[in-house]
Structure 1
Amino acid sequence: MSGGVDSAVAAARAVEAGHEVVGVHLALSRMPGTLRTGSRGCCTIEDSMDAQRAANIIGIPYYVWDFSERFKLDVVDDFIAEYAAGRTPNPCMRCNERIKFAALLEKAVALGFDAVCTGHYASILTDADGNRELHRASAWAKDQSYVLGVLTTEQLAHSMFPLGATPSKAEVRAEAAERGFSVANKPDSYDICFIPDGDTRGWLAERVAPATGDILDRDGAKLGEHDGAVAFTVGQRKGLQIGTPAADGKPRFVLEVRPITNTVVVGPKEALAIREIAGSTFTWCGVAPANPEVAFDCDVQIRAHADPEPAVAQVVPVSGSTTGETELVITPNEPLTGVAPGQTAVVYVGTRVLGQCTIDRTVSAVPVAAMSSAAADA
């Protein structure tokens, strides 16, 4: 129970469905701040109190479990390390993967519970053979199946999402008000919970030592210098501080962050178009495809609120690997924009979440030679 309206209503529905329910709030931070800033952040002392009040109304036992050390190691430290490596991580995916449906689920099962029930907007359906599948929620505007794409078959077997078939968030709020929950009109939390003021760049600057490096174009020519590569993300336009204008007069965007050489590569907007993404760290959510080595049609989603894009996916050997390593290669029908290593690509077949991968590499739809030729012609 996060202290929000969704988990409160989910707990109440689980009780009414006949389950023996215990409310648990996760203490994920030991920061001294107790109050959220507007709708930013979550998991504060204020949230814990809101969750307890809801549990009291429902009439269920309520506990606070301290997972702050595990959260720091598996989510916060991972977030810092990924940015330092020039990647763009999704901490919500890591929290679901390593905390809520790993550490929490492991403890719950050890204590004799059957499942972890949350207020996520997603649905679990059963196929003709009795296999559980994760599907989008009926309210696509609130669908959260993307951030649950990291769930494995075993984790899916011990998960419950009572809000999956709810038509809208407004209906959940109305139900909460009818039940007397004080959180009925509480704002949704957003942004990164451990950076409640939303200043990711400033937060990282305090934890990753800045080092001056070069800003290059796609041909390797030096255009300027930066004060720390960690401050840049793929697709960024503002704050590049390049004195030399592009030959065509158009703005430049960050195309790559190379931590080994501490360089940032910039180029035209067209070069952000990506025709292929791939990741060697991939999992299947539910039953895996019978022959994933054979290319299959799917949809791919690369951000929580992005539209799914038609694509073809296939598991292939990693080029040059001597250990038999494989990777999930996804080729969208139309190029994707602003994709960065570290992001999560979730694969769907219809409304079903089939699996996911952490993006290791991308292939631009516009080769360097083509861009150089276009610039010369201009």
Structure 2
Amino acid sequence: MRILAAMSGGVDSAVAAARAVEAGHDVTGVHLALSRAGGTLRTGSRGCCTIEDAMDARRAADMLGIPFYVWDFSERFRDDVIDDFISEYQAGRTPNPCMRCNEKIKFAALLERALELGFDAVCTGHYATLVSTSDGLELHRASDNAKDQSYVLGVLTAEQLAHTYFPLGETPSKALVRAEAAERGLSVAQKPDSHDICFIPDGDTRGWLAEKVGAEQGEILDRNGDVVGSHDGAHAFTVGQRRGLRLGVPAPDGKPRFVLEVRPVTNTVVVGPKEALAIGEISGARHSWAGAAPVSPEFDCDVQIRAHSEPVPARATVAEDGVTVVPDVPLDGVAPGQTAVLYVGTRVLGQFTIDRTVSAVPVDA
């Protein structure tokens, strides 16, 4: 096959490209330039799309003896990921930019261009596996649960899976990938993993949002609507947050309070007891299936609401207006804007963006 290897500059994508070459494929490497800030340099292990990363990707491609290009996707990244991130926060939701990047950039914009240029598939260093069945390809968890990245790939469709290649999915551990990189002479063998939001390299999300959307003082309310404090901008708060609330009125029971809801229209934040973070139902209109759609409109599954959270057994219902999931035990601290990924065993069935949550604890409890 003609393979376009997406090379971020990290060890995973470098080894994935190396394995594609070793498997006999015709491989071309590409690094995506997602920022037009020409002086951007990597800060510690933050970020994944800097000048240093592009140079590391080029060195890996040279070592593998494959053609290498840098493609400027900065405008598309700004429109589909950064602007979406800002607008979601302005709407009081908690977005996942990595999901949007996979959905809109790596497996939409990149794959579209790859197919236009005659490539058969895009290769990445994600830890996930593809299984061929009589119903088509299925997306499954990686063999290494600690590194499993199937959650952030839950947005992929059947058509995208048909042109995707994950060489690392069966690797038992990240340590083995690093050892393999060292054996191959790749300079990124011990490079730290990237983390946090790549377009906020210093990790100060609150400060970055304040600069982008401004800050306006508002009220902090309890679940009964009583004012218990003030804030400098609702966008700076996320559901489940405990620190930095600066409440002027203590809780009657003296226990800490947590952010339960962010209301951007009124610029208010609602706080309450930790128990009120327990969510008994979630639903969302925007959904997709990673392969064949479920046969029945109601089915048992596992639901996962964060990249590294534990899956929870649940009952899902699919209707014209979206997907509703009722977990067997309440979910903790779910916020609208998060992505719920549905699994059946190790298989990724699909995903939806959470629009609505229902607390498992009544207001007067």
TM-score range, shorter chain: over 0.9
How far 1:329 moved relative to its partner?
Answer: 0.5
Out of 51, 57, 60, the residue aligned to residue 54 of structure 1 is: 60
CA deviations over 1:18-46 (Å, ceiling 9, x no partner): 21110000000012433211111111111
Which residue number corresponds to residue 165 of structure 1? 170
Which residue number corresponds to residue 268 of structure 2? 263
How far 1:367 moved relative to its partner?
Answer: 1.1
Which residue number corresponds to residue 45 of structure 1? 51
The answer to whether the aligner puts 1:133 opposite 2:138 as a matched pair is yes
Out of 23, 29, 33, the residue aligned to residue 27 of structure 1 is: 33
The answer to whether the aligner puts 1:195 opposite 2:190 as a matched pair is no
Alignment of 1:77-226 (within 5 A): 77-127=83-133, 129=134, 131-226=136-231
Given that 2:135 and 2:292 are in contact with CA atoms closer than 8 Å, whether structure 1 keeps it comes out as no
How far 1:138 moved relative to its partner?
Answer: 0.3
Which residue number corresponds to residue 6 of structure 1? 12
Question: What percentage of aligned pairs have identical amino acids?
Answer: 76
Q: Take 1:33 and 1:297, find their aligned partners in 2: how far apart are those partners?
A: 50
Q: Take 1:130 and 1:153, find their aligned partners in 2: how far apart are those partners?
A: 10
Residue type of the alignment partner of 1:36: R
What count of residue pairs does the alignment treat as equivalent?
359
Alignment of 1:272-283 (within 5 A): 272-283=277-288
The answer to whether the aligner puts 1:302 opposite 2:320 as a matched pair is no
Which residue number corresponds to residue 331 of structure 1? 326
Q: Secondary structure at the match of 1:346?
A: strand
Q: Take 1:28 and 1:194, find their aligned partners in 2: how far apart are those partners?
A: 9
Q: Which runs of 5+ in 2 are unaligned?
A: 1-6
Q: Take 2:28 and 2:136, find their aligned partners in 1: how far apart are those partners?
A: 27
How far 1:104 moved relative to its partner?
Answer: 0.4
Q: Take 2:49 and 2:276, find their aligned partners in 1: how far apart are those partners?
A: 39
Q: Secondary structure at the match of 2:361?
A: coil
Q: Take 1:357 and 1:364, find their aligned partners in 2: how far apart are those partners?
A: 19
Q: Secondary structure at the match of 1:206?
A: helix
The answer to whether the aligner puts 1:245 opposite 2:245 as a matched pair is no
CA deviations over 1:80-137 (Å, ceiling 9, x no partner): 110111000000000000000000000000011111100000000011x151000000
Q: Which runs of 5+ in 1 are unaligned?
A: 317-324, 372-378
Q: Take 1:353 and 1:289, find their aligned partners in 2: how far apart are those partners?
A: 11
The answer to whether the aligner puts 1:17 opposite 2:12 as a matched pair is no
Residue type of the alignment partner of 1:121: Y
Residue type of the alignment partner of 2:316: A
Q: Take 2:178 and 2:244, find their aligned partners in 1: how far apart are those partners?
A: 40
Q: Take 2:103 and 2:294, find their aligned partners in 1: how far apart are those partners?
A: 21
Say what the alpha-carbon RMSD is for the aligned residues: 0.9
The TM-score with structure 1 as length reference comes to 0.94
Residue type of the alignment partner of 1:23: G
Q: Take 2:301 and 2:285, find their aligned partners in 1: how far apart are those partners?
A: 18
Which residue number corresponds to residue 4 of structure 2? none
Q: Secondary structure at the match of 2:220?
A: strand
Which portions of structure 1, spanning 4 or more consecutive aligned residues, are displaced by more than 6 angstroms?
A: none
Q: Take 2:178 and 2:51, find their aligned partners in 1: how far apart are those partners?
A: 22
Q: Take 1:110 and 1:154, find their aligned partners in 2: how far apart are those partners?
A: 15
The TM-score with structure 2 as length reference comes to 0.97
Alignment CA distance shift 1:307-1:229 (3 Å): same
CA deviations over 1:248-279 (Å, ceiling 9, x no partner): 11111000001111111000000000001101
Q: Take 2:246 and 2:49, find their aligned partners in 1: how far apart are those partners?
A: 37
Which residue number corresponds to residue 3 of structure 2? none
Q: Take 1:309 and 1:196, find their aligned partners in 2: how far apart are those partners?
A: 32
Q: Take 1:66 and 1:274, find their aligned partners in 2: how far apart are those partners?
A: 41
Residue type of the alignment partner of 2:323: L
Q: Take 1:18 and 1:44, find their aligned partners in 2: how far apart are those partners?
A: 30
The answer to whether the aligner puts 1:341 opposite 2:336 as a matched pair is yes
Q: Secondary structure at the match of 1:207?
A: helix
Residue type of the alignment partner of 2:83: D
